Structure 1
Amino acid sequence: MSSPEDLAEKFGELPDEVMVELHNMLRIYNIDAEELFFKWEEYCLKMGEDIKLNLKNITAFKDDAREQFEIEMRAKSKSAQAPAARGAQRAAKNTGDVFNMLDGLTPATPRSSAHSAAKLKFEKAGYETPLAERTSKLAVGSSPVGPGPTFKTPGPLASVPFRNRPDPGKVMEIYNPNIEIPQLPLPGYPGYQSRVQFAALINSQNFQYKPMYQKLTTGSQVLDDRIEEYAAMIQEEHKIENDEFCNPASKLPEEVVVVGRIATDAMDSQKRSNEASLLLEASRGGGNGARVRLDLSSLKGYAFYPGMTVALRAINPTGDKLIVKSVLDPPTYFSAGSKPEAMEEELRKLSAGNFNVFIAAGPYTTDDNLDFEGLAELVDKIVEAEPDVVFLSGPFIDAEHPKVKLGDFPIDMNNFSGYVLEDLFKEKITSQLHRITKSMVILIPSTRDAVSKHVSFPQDRFQRKLLGLRPDIQLLTNPCMVSLNEIQFGISSADILFHLNMQEIKATGKGIEMNTFNRLANYVISSSNFYPLFPPPEASQVGYTTPIDLQWMRLCDFPESIKPDVLILPSKLPGAVKVVNGVVTINPGFMSTTRTAGTYAFMSIEPPTKVLQEENVSSPDDDFTLKHRIYNRARVEIRRI
């Protein structure tokens, strides 16, 4: 790639902003300064006038160059599919030249076809843009031979300008409206240091594994162990005798209990699974890993998803179809609790007022720009309100963003560290986070974060030094569970609610939760796992790939199978807050959609005064704990930014 000196030699002395744009074009199209100068002269001739090299004209030049690039890509994609018509011509066995003097230059010379292909490839390499080939594959996301006939390079979308966003500040949903929000900042607010005691409940060292380096045997063992452990919990929960458990694939004329994992044999990833595609897969110990088809006609209602571990009462008269009579309720998991002295310490810490939390999830900017106006607005509100804690989950620099895919953003060469995307993070994200000084900031990455070294789920933390983050900013794994004073928060940036919604197979009926959000969230809570779905949905279903490291999925289990007080599950689905299975479950929504600004969540939790007054705290039992009952103490609002 040409240097700034080469650009100055061709274009002359230019303002810094113009020079940055020209250098950006060199990098995007992988050309040198001379070729870019020729393209500029061609553009001037096309416009039919003498154009000055200012920022406005360079921007128009970039748009024209991108349009030409799209035309070239479409032409190449059509030519790549055209040879079928040409192949209909009948070729002679020996149409080469006498003594092969033309060295394979005639189009139908069989002897030199391989040589011609190699020569053509060599000649193309001199002028074809390597980056264009890579970006076209990224845009299509499938075919390794190049883009299809309908391919169009992602360009600016017709987004709503941030200043024209609909209903800024509007409260979309409120939970516990009877709890009053204190005046923020709290009078005499000392800062989070004296009010918040932080503790991670997941060992982050376990997440430092080598990503996407898994063995099939280890992954299958994880699935097997989950079935066996579930069977043991079901046996204890429902007091079932050992001889009642049977192999689901054997002939079972009488009703027995079978335990396994829901699977599907639907082959077309473009379509959702259905009742006819459902199978039950047994563990290797409980049924040699056999799969048997499910007959759900006897059930009044059901709700399943691939990867769901279930216990069924069923019969199998022929050995090839399991007729399900009923589904056993999943095991009961305990809610978090604390000793009375810990609750009293919590009350002392919150003497100034409620415990206040902001919760937001990426993407943080629309698809037509990298201005991060929504994040800047949110930080303005945080600086003004001074909450105790701020949860921010990724993606921050979204690998699916059109401008990030194409590298279509300027680079500050004066502060260039050699890491383009990390510099963009520091410029757009770090600079905003460093404005927050009186609140604890917690960052959770996403597998779509282009600045994360860890590309699979479960996911390790961000790298602090590379992103220029302050030491007091808490960097957590994805997923994670933390204790803030006595309150336990669980959070995952994987969009499990949307993924479950795409894969769920259900029939409404007796005992089936009708509210979609409650039903999807309960899948997570009842499985005691942040991502119980397996396999994850295809890119054709949700628009992106979710790389799962199956052998490490035990890191997604709730610690000690204890339900968190607050479960944060950001999703593409509309923002919502519900109490599900005793857990305050929050979907803050995304801060930005592809076209317009989105939503975030605000939470205000009362001190545990009533909990201490109403419970018997004088119990002599050393194991006595008080339930936190956050669902009675918290007000949550889903707000538009």
Structure 2
Amino acid sequence: MDTDKHLIEQFGPEAKEPIVLDALKNLSNVHALPPDELFIKWEQFSYQRHEQHTTLNSENVEAFKEFLQVQIEKKAAQTSQTTNLGSNKKKVRNVKNLGSSPSVFGFSLPNTPSLKKRKLNANHLLSSANGGGSKLAFETGDLTTDINNSETEMMYTPSMDSKFGTSTMPSTADSALNTPSNNCVSGKVLDSLNPENIEIAEGMEFDTEEKISVLPYYEPKKYRFRTMRQNLVESADYLDDQIESFVPIVQEHYQLSKDDFGDPTIQSQSEIYAVGRIVPDSPTTEGFLNPESLALETSRISGIGRRISLNLTEVNDFSLFCGQIVALKGKNVSGDYFLVTEILSLPYPNSPVSTTEDIQKLYNGKTDRTSKIIVTSGPYTPATSFDLTYLAEFVDKVNTSIKPHAIVMFGPFIDVTNPLIASGNLPNFPNVKVQPKTLDEVFSKVIAPILSQINSKIQVVLIPSTRDALTKHAAYPQDSFNRNILQLPKNFKCFANPATFQINESFFGCSNVDVFKDMKEVTKGGTITLRNRFDRISEHVLNQRRFYPVFPGGIKKKLISSSDSKDKKIYEHLSGADLEVAYLGLTEFVSSFTPDVMIIPSELQQFARVIQNVIVINPGVFVKATGVRGSYAQLSILPANIDDGKLTKVESPDGEVYLHNVWKRARVDLITI
């Protein structure tokens, strides 16, 4: 009966139909998937069919069954390829088109535009139809099982003869490009945001004095702390302050008094309001939550830091995850649990604004300056070779055809989890007189010469990853690269991770930790579960006011051996969020306002969406582990013209200011490299 109840909670009232319920139970048992994971697979199934909501009936459940079987066969095929390293035939994974994402933000503004699909020609559609299935964005589940595949385990010592140090063995990328049905042709537009309203920017004219402003909007000195020196008291203080910081926000937004708040861990017959952190009441080895195993952790002021189990039976809709700060209404009648009657929505932060003088100063009276910005995310080499051909081609394309005003490049540039790097099987580089002795020298002698060919008038921003071998600061939040050590020219700017910076008047918030893969939600109710998962996670990031609200952070590990006991397995840590808890305040939104554009790279499917009037972008990886071409994001942002009505005037204590409304003025294209 518990399984029936959980399935109905996850899939909604349609699952009460006996035939449908029996079929779902059977699938749950056959595939060893709990109801919440089975529902994530159902979301993948709907997403593949390009449907916001797939009707839950016997016919669609049968199609869902076939969908799960296909996934199993694909994973089995990938496993067989891993064991046969001599075979060069890899299954090319096609990228599916994306969905839409309407939302509304304060200030009584109109609904945001939906993500409209770019119409591809008949040849592209035919190629996509014949190209086979793809590994969908939400096929994550347990990170342990997802990482234990050919992308992480393929190791060999290549013989090199290319100027970029590539293997003499034909690369996966080459074979993929020669496949007629390949869906990763260079320059193909995979999806677009606002394609009908805004044209693609022409780009920069290098023979003019045209230049855009790129300025950091954070304090770099605060990121220069020593890692691996965590103090338990300092970490506990931050986690406590994190809860307490939301109390005045909730109190002001809902016009509550201090007397309305109480200690949820104390038995009482009266309803109270409580603010705390969502935690599991009994953590499991997998780290998954379910509605019956949630607890609320209080601050030292509100509840002496104690935890109380939550009873959510009276709440119809919710989406919760570990580390989430929530405001609850309810009572603790028995002393054993807190009966929640309402989960209060946290208010979203304000949007950034600019004065008339600020905007005029940036544009110097010019109203036709459309900015073109490129966003890429590493790794920049496949897992099976140190092939930099794609990067060299991309740099050439940047200088000759794309001509952006700015490029934002996320690491890793040299990925410590790459099997070749981890095993020390780096190639010889023919064009390098003195072979590099360290990974820093690999960058400065091999990668830096390629990046340095980017036109000096293009502003380039580098943001590190915790997987980067180039940084000694391998924890999140993370200090920036040292441009001088990397031997890069002056048009390169090195920012921290996360970082907030301005490009002209627009605020960009960037974080290089995969929150979309690490956040495991517990959901209930039709209005919540029918929404796209990317939308839900993006909204969580915004109303939690920090780029990575998950706690504890996600971990990627690989199974290395099993003991005689079936329940005990030994894993190797590959990478993860690796949080510096005492310094997580640096991951919060600067000045408590949302950025105009939020960029969070993820291993999952690339997307661009408008969430609460914020453009949220995942550019996708530059090169996939198998060597298949990845993707990048291209933004075309119209100038902030006060007279064209695209900026919203807002009264403030400092006088008239304007919301930037970048979501109205920007077009985003997701393109294969």
Structure 2: distance between partners of 1:457 and 1:543: 15
Q: Residue by residue, what CA displacement relative to the aligned partner does 1:526-550 show, whole Å, maximum 9, x if unpaired?
A: 1111111110123349963321100
SS in 2 for 1:530: coil
Q: Unaligned stretches of 5+ in structure 2?
A: 1-84, 87-142, 145-151, 158-168, 559-572
Corresponding residue for 1:124? none
Partner SS state of residue 270, structure 2? strand
User: Could you tell me which residue of structure 1 aligns to residue 506 of structure 2?
Assistant: 487
Q: Conserved in 2, the CA contact under 8 Å of 1:394 and 1:444? A: yes
The amino acid of 1:446's aligned partner reads S
Of the candidates 362, 379, 386, which is equivalent to residue 378 of structure 2? 362
The counterpart of 1:471, out of the listed 482, 490, 495, is: 490
C-alpha separation in 2, matches of 1:510 and 1:619: 34
Q: How do 1:373-522 and structure 2 match up within 5 A?
A: 373-384=389-400, 385-411=402-428, 415-416=433-434, 419-437=437-455, 438-500=457-519, 503-510=520-527, 514-522=531-539
Q: Distance in 2 between matches of 1:482 and 1:198?
A: 7
Query: TM-score scaled to structure 1, two decimals?
Result: 0.72
1:195 Cα shift?
2.5
Q: Which residue of 2 aligns with 1:546?
A: 577
- In 1, the alpha carbon distance for the partners of 2:334 and 2:391 equals 60
- 1:350–1:451 CA distance, 2 compared to 1 (3 A): farther
Partner of 1:94: none
In structure 2, how many angstroms separate the alpha carbons of the residues matched to 1:435 and 1:258? 56
Could you tell me whether the CA contact under 8 Å between 1:162 and 1:373 is conserved in 2? no
Aligned partner of 2:587 in structure 1 is: 556
- The 3 A distance-change label for structure 1 pair 240 and 367 is same
Question: 1:220–1:492: structure 2 CA closer, same or farther, 3 Å change rule?
Answer: same
* Residues in 2 aligned to 1:454 and 1:400: alpha-carbon distance in whole angstroms: 16
Choose which of 145, 164, 171 in structure 1 pairs with 2:176. 164
Aligned-partner Cα distance in 1 for 2:474–2:277: 27
CA distance in 2, matches of 1:513, 1:337: 33
Task: Tell me the alpha carbon deviations over residues 389-434 of structure 1, each in whole angstroms, 9 at most, x when there is no partner.
Answer: 1000011100000000011113559755875111211234211211
1:608 matched residue in structure 2: 640
Counterpart contact for 2:203–2:405, Cα < 8 Å:
no
Maintained 8 Å contact 1:605/1:630 = yes
**Distance verdict in 2 for CA 1:477–1:176, change over 3 Å:** same
Task: Please report how far the alpha carbon of residue 616 of structure 1 lies from its aligned counterpart in structure 2 after TM superposition.
Answer: 8.6
Normalized against structure 2, the TM-score is what?
0.68
- In structure 2, the partner of 1:282 is 298
Decide which of 605, 618, 629 is 1:574's aligned counterpart: 605
Distance 1:270 1:619 in 2: 50
Match of 1:590 in 2: 621
2:641–2:647 CA contact under 8 A, matched in 1: no
Give the drift of 1:510.
3.8
Any conservation in 1 of the 2:295–2:309 contact (CA below 8 Å)? Answer: yes
Partner letter of residue 564 of structure 1?
Answer: P
Cα offset, 1:331, TM superposition: 2.4
- In structure 2, the residue corresponding to 1:219 is in which secondary structure? helix
Q: Which structure has the greater CA radius of gyration?
A: 1
SS at match of 2:576: coil
Q: Which amino acid aligns with 1:457?
A: Y
Query: Pairwise mapping of residues 257-406 of structure 1 onto structure 2 (< 5 A)?
Result: 257-270=273-286, 272-348=288-364, 351=367, 353-384=369-400, 385-406=402-423
* Amino acid in the other structure paired with 2:583: W
Match of 1:176 in 2: 194
2:282 paired with 1:246: no
Q: Deviations over 1:185-236 (max 9, x none)?
A: 45x4556x74312221110111000012110010011011011110111001
As a proportion of its length, which structure holds more helix?
1
Q: Is the 8 A contact 1:346 1:607 kept in 2?
A: no
SS at match of 1:547: coil
Q: Summarize the Cα distance change of 1:494–1:162 in structure 2 as closer, same or farther, 3 Å threshold.
A: farther
Task: Give the distance between the partners of 1:266 and 1:154, measured in 2 at CA.
Answer: 39
Structure 2 residue aligned with 1:626: 658
What residue ranges of structure 1 are gaps of 5+ in the alignment? 1-65, 68-140, 143-150
Deviation string, structure 1 residues 364-392 (Cα, Å, up to 9, x no partner)? 12111111233223212211221111000
Residue 161 of structure 1: SS of its match in structure 2?
helix
Q: Tell me the distance in 2 between the aligned counterparts of 1:539 and 1:237.
A: 38
The answer as to 2:668 corresponding to 1:636 is yes
Bigger shift: 252-261 or 616-625? 616-625
Q: CA deviation at 1:176?
A: 0.3
Classify 1:183/1:175 alpha carbon distance in 2 versus 1 (closer, same or farther; 3 Å): closer
Fraction of identical pairs, as percent: 29
How many residues are paired up?
A: 491
Distance 1:337 1:477, change over 3 A: same
Change (3 A) 1:205 1:350: farther
2:410–2:465: 8 Å Cα contact kept in structure 1?
yes
- Whether the aligned pair in 2 keeps the contact of 1:250 and 1:316 (CA below 8 Å) is yes
Give the root-mean-square deviation of aligned CA atoms. Answer: 2.8
Shift of 1:242: 1.2
